[in-house]
Structure 1
């Protein structure tokens, strides 16, 4: 990716460390808000929410809110609670997703639905959504409320769209991009955009940060979907092949199916319908994905969207914040290598 020039010839692998260092003080305040607002007189709520919130995630989305505020030189404190709201939205969707997908692992740990059951996971997810809206209302900005509430609705639409696309071998690349644009990229975009609102910047600055977050989110999800065919549970935090066994039509399968011969198409049709889900079947799927260069081309698309994210920052002044945000894009793409 051309943005490597920003590291002035440094050959170290791209990392989130610059962003972590950039927002460390602010993130402590965000974490305090998260811990405070996930409390309840019902002990199961903080216990279950804490299992996921403390589960080792990088807090990528709230970090983007904080980094975007740094980029704009925002001196206030409103973004701390809003970053917490962003994390609550994300955590709530994860709780619901794991129920829908019947997932066993999240970030290498047993999922909440496996430990406490589906009803508790759904209801605590609802509680966290409610907490996020409390935080938005307390901020007092109707514009912020509109951005984050719209993102929440779009995420839900994306999840329903994905649910109706499961085991659909005819899913198009365009619809797949619509799905990940909604279920993943919408919150990345909103997390960045709200920083421009609280910093009282122009619509053009809002749109640029929205574009940065949206394109980063798409790149992030493309890499995640590629990793399902190149990685293992230790790397991914979920079981390798989960998407395959669940019949999810991610881009590697879409491309592999489009490029397959008659025998290959028959294999993919059976697999997507749930008739080829053994370890041997998954190994064959990996071989077929690799043979058609479907993973390589998925990652090439990720690099394309990553570059679009970097280009969106072009209007902003250079400095530590901009460099950290560029390197975060490079890190998101480099996870696959």
Structure 2
């Protein structure tokens, strides 16, 4: 099985050393979800394959290697975080009414909302079956700790989604609440992947703390940069509509910065754009212009890059090994996607 174009473009070129890990993940994913099965299996396979960047599974495997661990069982364990991630994406598209995911019809658009919700549930619950099967031969205390981390991540992800709902349509909600939401909704899976990998790899408490710090800054950098993509990238390269955030009334990082930096008239325009007074297609160029003139886009880039740099600083506590080098490259990649 060969790497999909998206993985080749966005991951393997800057992370050539991780290419073998991605190949193993892709082969195991294809083996675990064969075609021609029952409907739920078919829908799940559609959601999972072709795969995205497999960033979170990669983080788990490389975090384990960074603390001196590893083994074939970690490939199967790593895919469990992908099931949680993809299940949450299916539900996100239902909540937001998005018809496109990764450049093709979302699961809800292809199979209907009811089956999409069921498939999302199945993938998120299936995470536990995949994880516990994969780590059965490891020391029980490591397996239990990893399950606990993944369970907490699932709850945090839901907390972040609920908080995002509270913030919808409100560009004055403030950066502190945005950062809390991002640490939960986006950061939860980065923490689970990295800390879970460090636990399964036998990392010391100090190494686990370092990995967790890395993951927390990486999650912020990743989401801050992701929020920039509607204003900096072609939707054909991102695989998602540039109008999605505005259509959902989602107060993203550059928009919140712009609101804080704009004069009163600019704030009113941002309120109209996010509150649904303007159609998203009209609101996007208006918002883009305001973010450029206020300097919010540049400020957002700088803050995302600062968190990526802080993520790399956390890796100084780890052994100088390939895994740590790959994690550092992921931090660089997090603020240099589809730019």
What TM-score do you get using the length of structure 1 for normalisation?
Answer: 0.89
Q: Which runs of 5+ in 1 are unaligned?
A: 1-13
Q: Matches of 1:167 and 1:218 in 2, distance apart?
A: 21
Structure 1 pair 236/75, CA: closer, same or farther in 2 (3 Å)?
Answer: closer
- Cα distance per residue 1:122-157 (max 9 Å; x no partner): 100111112111123332511011001001110111
Structure 1 pair 255/37, CA: closer, same or farther in 2 (3 Å)?
Answer: same
Q: Report the 3-state secondary structure (helix = DSSP H, G, I; strand = E; otherwise coil) of the residue aligned with 1:335.
A: coil
Deviation of the 1:317 alpha carbon: 2.6
1:10 is matched with none
- Map 1:271-310; keep pairs closer than 5 Å: 271-310=273-312
1:53 is matched with 48
Structure 1 pair 68/19, CA: closer, same or farther in 2 (3 Å)?
Answer: farther
Q: Matches of 1:334 and 1:20 in 2, distance apart?
A: 13
1:154 is matched with 156
1:246 is matched with 248
2:263 is matched with 261
1:226 is matched with 228
Q: 1:115 aligns with which of 110, 133, 138?
A: 110
Q: Does 315-324 or 281-290 show the bigger shift?
A: 315-324
1:17 is matched with 12
Q: Are 1:15 and 1:328, in contact at CA under 8 Å, matched by a contact in 2?
A: no
2:93 is matched with 98
Structure 1 pair 257/126, CA: closer, same or farther in 2 (3 Å)?
Answer: same
What TM-score do you get using the length of structure 2 for normalisation?
Answer: 0.89
Q: Report the 3-state secondary structure (helix = DSSP H, G, I; strand = E; otherwise coil) of the residue aligned with 2:208.
A: helix
Q: Are 2:160 and 2:185, in contact at CA under 8 Å, matched by a contact in 1?
A: yes
Q: Report the 3-state secondary structure (helix = DSSP H, G, I; strand = E; otherwise coil) of the residue aligned with 1:229.
A: helix
Q: Are 1:233 and 1:239, in contact at CA under 8 Å, matched by a contact in 2?
A: yes
Q: Does 235-244 or 149-158 show the bigger shift?
A: 235-244
Deviation of the 1:19 alpha carbon: 7.3
- Cα distance per residue 1:233-267 (max 9 Å; x no partner): 11221111321222101111111112222221221
In angstroms, what is the RMSD of aligned CA positions?
2.2
- Cα distance per residue 1:194-236 (max 9 Å; x no partner): 1221222211111111111221111011001011222221122
Q: Matches of 1:69 and 1:18 in 2, distance apart?
A: 22
1:205 is matched with 207
Structure 1 pair 143/56, CA: closer, same or farther in 2 (3 Å)?
Answer: closer
Structure 1 pair 15/107, CA: closer, same or farther in 2 (3 Å)?
Answer: closer
Structure 1 pair 15/279, CA: closer, same or farther in 2 (3 Å)?
Answer: closer
